[in-house]
Amino acid sequence: MLHNLRRVIQEVNAANNLDEALSIIVRRVKEAMEVDVCSVFLNDPARGQFVLMATNGLNPAAVGKSRLGHHEGLIGLVGERQEPVNVADAGSHPRYRHMPETGEEPHHAFLGVPIIHYRRLLGVLVAQHTVHRRFEEDEVAFFLTVAAQLAGGISHAAASSGPSVTSNGQPLQPGFVQGVRGAPGVALGTIAVADPLADLASVPNRRARDTEAEEVSFCAAVAAVQQALRTSGEHMSAHLPAEERALFDVFVMLLGGDTLVSDTVRRIREGQWAPAALRDTIHEHASVFENLEDPYLQARAEDIRGLGRRILMQLQSEDVGSRTWPERCILVGEELSLAQIAEVPINRLAGIASVRGSAVSHVALLARAMDIPAVMGLDDLRVSWLDEQPIVVDGYEGRVFINPSAAVQKEFQRLAREEDEITAGVRELRELPAETPDGIRMPLHVNTGLLSDITPSLKSGAEGVGLYRTEFPFMVRDSFPSEDEQYQTYRAVLAAFAPRTVTMRTLDVGGDKNLPYFPVDEDNPFLGWRGIRFTLDHPEIFLTQLRAMLRANADHGNLRLLLPMISRVDEVDEAAAHLARAHRELIEEGQPCAMPSIGVMIEAPSAVYQAHALSRRVDFLSLGTNDLTQYILAVDRNNPRVASLYDGLHPAVLRAVVDATEVARATGTPISVCGEMAGDPAAIPLLLATGVDALSMSACAIPKAKWVIRSIAKAQAADLLERALAMEEPQSIRGMMDGVLDAAGLGGLVRAGK
């Protein structure tokens, strides 16, 4: 059974569309369970019905036509209970409803299980038998396991295929793919799948515009790989045993054989572009070896894939610079890189969607700096199906709609117009202070980490840098940057913002921010070797960075130094000792420099409860609400499975912010907020009421934040905070704040806080 389950899952995940995936499911599950019928009914929530969308054993003409209401028949009973329904004689059950169009009359035994994905009922999987009997417990358990395992694949296929359509042309409710918010905003456009780097599995489907040119290109790539293999074999002949040298000859023979090349050429002539034709041929040939019993022959499947990757790499090297991009391009990929983004003309790039990546990934931060909507962590997106399809990117909710319906497009076009109106409305506030109607000033600073961010940050009206992420220069290299390289970067940033202060966070890697040249493999990286823990364990790296910062600060004196991920007071003491040492060394070397202000990030719950002790050691505090929220709520903010549970307006998070600010006021320690919460319009009045001294956010969020501050008095904000702290659910708090924004004429900002 387990072997059968794995095979079904593999085939479903490799399917080209939803119809193919469902067809595989009913055929394979019927074989595995040895039943007479296997069917899938998909949920159509818009009509309150279940629709027969695939069957093996019933009348195929009923597919897409046969429907049952949510509370009708045994199918409806499965949906209501959301648990298995197992009956020996379906016809005698009081909930049975006869569907003559399906030809189900001879079938008595019935087993139905719900297909559920992230709490959402996708449909019902059904097995039927002609005999009168209840299915055995192990059969029910297997069937339930199949449904649970395949739920993701069905959701994956449904979302990536766009709205499913029944055979009589009626669309099922269009779905969306849930990810995590990368950069706010909405964008409608056409998908351009980023060409993968020699990754056959990620090659998108694309029609060949010129089949002859594609065939010539493929044959040239094969010839180039053959020659490279011959050359490699000759170079290695003196260093390898005869049997290993023979492998080079085998690979050359495989490329020279008829089937691998001719099968690919056939697919090209049928209309596929060369990379997709190669992908399908390699998959077909590798599968033959994988299904053999002999382990040695099974291992040859990877050799076939290796050849495929080499040919693909050659094809890609020939295609560089030849691609055309849609007018409103939504760049989509498995894991987008800055280089792939840079390939798209900036005047055509309208949005970004990535299967992997987080809200704080380099790509997401770049998207925010460019004011381009982005959604990351789209686990259910099947990229290879999507090229040139229409899409809506909702950066506020962290989701995308593939092949959106006319109604969805109309709604998002309205939201896009509202965004344009808001942008026009806040542009005039650039030179005005962020001051409440009752005269309370709230300095607004910018979060940045890229030199390219400097100009947009200055134009946004930012009063300084509340968080400069120094890890970026470390992440885009193949080795640790030298002291002089860091000095040049830091000096440019400090000079650009002088005399305004720049708060530079010391190296903060780990968690979801890894260095490619210093990989750290941990079971739970967010609770592992990250932030200050890493730098204190590597004083040679820490001291180099501290020296570079101090040298860069010599000319302008506007540096503030921020320590990340502090969870113990002795970490602050040790970091301060390293800073004093770096300062002493530079003075001894004849390089005059001043000691900067030093602060700590309040991100770990332990830091909230030791805020008194921390305040005695530092000059300022900074609330990092992204990590603070995920640690208090035990929710990985980058995991789409639990993304809906992550909310900075949770009462526990608000209470932690209030506790920290009360300590700061009592000790006379300045405190700011530099997480996403600082740019959330619904959270800003509450943060204002806590008494924080400054807010720091992405440059594109500053004008909207200023609009909120200038619209809501401090006294009103204090009342709202008191009411919020008495509430028990984040939805209640957010609902209250959305209502307040709407009443203040800021309804267009409500969506940005969700």
Per residue in 242-294, pLDDT (tens digit) is 544 455 555 566 666 567 888 899 999 999 999 999 999 888 888 877 776 66
Residues 275 and 352 in one domain: no
Q: 148 versus 559: which is more confidently predicted? A: 559
- Total domains, the chain: 5
Cα-only R_g, the chain:
30
Tell me the residue type at 590.
Answer: G
Structural domain range at position 512: 444-599
Average pLDDT over residues 540-555: 96
Residues 112 and 66 in one domain: yes
Q: 9 versus 237: which is more confidently predicted? A: 9
Q: 300 versus 216: which is more confidently predicted? A: 216
Tell me the residue type at 705.
Answer: A
Tell me the residue type at 318.
Answer: E
pLDDT of 71 higher than 70? yes
Average pLDDT over residues 368-373: 82
The residue among 724, 702, 699, 721 whose CA lies nearest residue 712 is 721
Partnered with residue 398 across adjacent β-strands are none
Residues 586 and 646 in one domain: no
Domain assignment present for residue 661? The answer is yes
Helices (H), 237-361: 242-256, 258-269, 274-290, 295-319, 338-342
- CATH code of the domain containing 479: 3.20.20.60
pLDDT of 172 higher than 80? no
Average pLDDT over residues 678-687: 95
pLDDT of 412 higher than 50? yes
pLDDT level of residue 41 (50, 70, 90 thresholds): very high
DSSP string, 101-116: GGT-TT--EEEEEEEE
How would you list the strands of the sheet with 186-193, edge to edge? 177-178, 399-402, 390-394, 186-193, 329-333, 349-354, 374-376, 180-183
- In the structure, how many helices (H) and strands (E) does the chain have? 27, 22
300 within 8 A of 289, measured Cβ to Cβ: yes
Strongest mean pLDDT among 3-17, 220-234, 280-294, 339-353: 339-353
pLDDT of residue 316: 76
pLDDT of 209 higher than 50? yes
Domain assignment present for residue 594? The answer is yes
Tell me the residue type at 383.
Answer: V
Average pLDDT over residues 706-731: 96
Residues 589 and 458 in one domain: yes
pLDDT of residue 671: 98
Average pLDDT over residues 429-436: 86
pLDDT level of residue 446 (50, 70, 90 thresholds): very high
pLDDT of residue 160: 57
Average pLDDT over residues 449-460: 77
Domain assignment present for residue 167? The answer is no
Sign of dihedral through CA atoms 531, 537, 538, 544?
A: positive
- Alpha carbons within 13 angstroms on the beta-carbon side of residue 197 total 5
Residues 233 and 273 in one domain: yes
**Domain boundary residue, one of 262, 289, 319:** 319
pLDDT level of residue 477 (50, 70, 90 thresholds): confident
The residues, ordered by sequence, that sit 6+ positions from 719 with a Cβ below 8 Å of its Cβ are none
Average pLDDT score, the chain: 85
Helices (H), 338-384: 338-342, 362-370
Cα gap 180→227, rounded to integer Å? 45
Domain assignment present for residue 674? The answer is yes
pLDDT of residue 361: 67
pLDDT of 375 higher than 90? yes
Cα gap 412→31, rounded to integer Å? 45
Both tokens assigned to 40: 């899938």
Both tokens assigned to 126: 């059904």
Least confident of 124-133, 266-275, 417-426, 479-488: 417-426
- CATH code of the domain containing 396: 3.50.30.10
376 within 8 A of 365, measured Cβ to Cβ: no
pLDDT level of residue 556 (50, 70, 90 thresholds): very high
Q: How many CB atoms lie within 10 A of CB 733?
A: 27
Residues 468 and 574 in one domain: yes
pLDDT level of residue 494 (50, 70, 90 thresholds): very high
Residues 359 and 471 in one domain: no
Work out the end-to-end distance of the chain between its first and last CA atoms, rounded to an integer number of angstroms.
44
Q: 14 versus 405: which is more confidently predicted? A: 405
DSSP letter at 695? E
DSSP letter at 396? T
467 within 8 A of 447, measured Cβ to Cβ: yes
- CATH code of the domain containing 140: 3.30.450.40
pLDDT of 453 higher than 80? no
Partnered with residue 39 across adjacent β-strands are 55, 126
DSSP letter at 442? -
Least confident of 10-19, 64-73, 119-128: 10-19
Percentage of residues of the chain with pLDDT beyond 90: 51
Three-state SS for 65? coil
pLDDT of residue 1: 58
Cα torsion at 343, 345, 346, 348 (round to 10°)?
-120
The residue among 730, 8, 358 whose CA lies nearest residue 738 is 730
pLDDT of residue 486: 95
In terms of Cβ atoms closer than 10 Å to its own Cβ (0-12, 13-18, 19+), residue 339 is exposed
pLDDT level of residue 474 (50, 70, 90 thresholds): confident
pLDDT level of residue 442 (50, 70, 90 thresholds): very high
Domain assignment present for residue 169? The answer is no
The residues, ordered by sequence, that sit 6+ positions from 404 with a Cβ below 8 Å of its Cβ are 162, 174, 188, 390, 391, 392, 412
pLDDT level of residue 239 (50, 70, 90 thresholds): very low
Both tokens assigned to 364: 């997401």
pLDDT of 173 higher than 50? no
Cα gap 230→456, rounded to integer Å? 53
Residues 592 and 631 in one domain: no
Cα gap 457→455, rounded to integer Å? 5
pTM of the predicted model, to two decimals?
A: 0.73
Cis peptide before 605 (omega within 30 of 0): no
Domain assignment present for residue 214? The answer is yes
Largest CA distance in the chain: 95
Residues 338 and 310 in one domain: no
Domain assignment present for residue 423? The answer is no
pLDDT of 693 higher than 90? yes
Domain assignment present for residue 699? The answer is no
pLDDT of 314 higher than 80? yes
The residues, ordered by sequence, that sit 6+ positions from 268 with a Cβ below 8 Å of its Cβ are 208, 211, 214, 215, 218, 274, 277
Strands 620-623 and 559-563: unpaired
pLDDT of 106 higher than 50? yes
Helix (H), strand (E) at residue 188:
strand 186-193
In terms of Cβ atoms closer than 10 Å to its own Cβ (0-12, 13-18, 19+), residue 78 is buried
Residues 71 and 153 in one domain: yes
Least confident of 277-291, 394-408, 599-613, 659-673: 277-291
Residues annotated as catalytic are 362, 674
Residues 541 and 577 in one domain: yes
The residue among 79, 59, 161 whose CA lies nearest residue 125 is 79
Three-state SS for 709? helix
pLDDT level of residue 574 (50, 70, 90 thresholds): very high
pLDDT of 171 higher than 50? no
Both tokens assigned to 711: 């619209």
pLDDT of residue 258: 61
Residues 266 and 156 in one domain: no
pLDDT level of residue 327 (50, 70, 90 thresholds): very high
